[in-house]
Amino acid sequence: MADSLRQRVLRIIAGSAHALLNKLEDQAPAAVLEQSIREVEAVTQEVRAELGSVAASRHLAQQQHASLNAEHEGLSASASQAVSLGRDDLAKSAIARQVDIEAQLPLLESSLAELAGQERELSGFVEGLMSKQREMHAQITQLIRAKAASEQQALRGAAATNGLGAKLAHAQSAFDRTYERQSGLSTGMSGPSAEQAGQLKALGDLVRDHKVNERLAALKAQ
């Protein structure tokens, strides 16, 4: 994994969600929100792409390792048969090939160990980034709803004072449209939109649920 990508991942995961919330107080909360979420999603896609590349490389290395081991074993039988037939020249050729294979196997095994370590790291980064996205969505939603409640209360107070019920309904409708456009959330929902929830579940919940179930099973085993 390139150091620049690793640094970006670590910066995102270590970053404070409150810094993002403070930015949402600016004049263009929608732009800040979209930019921050897009950054996390873009980095997640980059990490996933590298994870796929590393996994493919490890698979090829495993195949090569298995092929060389099988060839080495077959050469042992061939060398024994050549000796029994008095063909030392053929036996020496088989043994020489075995020596070459034995020189390659440690390098392949070292590469496999390194690739497996990279896979673990990249998988951890993907999981961490998805956790960060859930955190950002939750805190941003909380902030936007707090603003929504405050503005709705102000509108109701004005309506009660001035008898502007019709204007209140119109303002409420306009506010709902603005809220949904800026946040991607519905004011009537208790969580992220259906589309957002589906994306988050597809990307992160399976991994997290698996971990939860594993820990629960471990506790029961105790």
pLDDT digits (tens, 9 = 90+) for 97-139: 999 999 999 999 999 999 999 999 999 999 888 888 888 777 7
Question: How many CB atoms lie under 10 A from the CB of residue 58?
Answer: 18
Q: Is residue 12 part of a domain?
A: yes
Q: Is residue 107 part of a domain?
A: yes
- Supply the pTM of this predicted model: 0.60
pLDDT category, 159, cuts 50, 70, 90? low
In degrees, rounded to 5, the angle at the alpha carbon of residue 121 between the alpha carbons of residues 119 and 124 is 105
27-50 residue pLDDT tens: 556 566 667 778 888 889 999 999
Q: Which two tokens stand for residue 103?
A: 């020189």
User: Which helix (DSSP H) or strand (DSSP E) does residue 186 occupy?
Assistant: none
Q: Is residue 207 part of a domain?
A: no
Domain tally, the chain: 1
Q: Which domain holds residue 40?
A: 3-193
Asked whether the predicted pLDDT for residue 70 surpasses 50, the reply is: yes
Q: Give 56's contacts (C-beta < 8 A, 6+ positions apart).
A: none
Dist. CA 122–CA 156, nearest whole Å: 51
Asked whether the predicted pLDDT for residue 161 surpasses 90, the reply is: no
The chain-wide mean pLDDT, for the chain, equals 76
Q: Is residue 66 part of a domain?
A: yes
Q: Which two tokens stand for residue 110?
A: 């070292």
Q: Is residue 198 part of a domain?
A: no
pLDDT category, 57, cuts 50, 70, 90? very high
Q: Is residue 206 part of a domain?
A: no
Q: Is residue 200 part of a domain?
A: no
Q: Is residue 220 part of a domain?
A: no
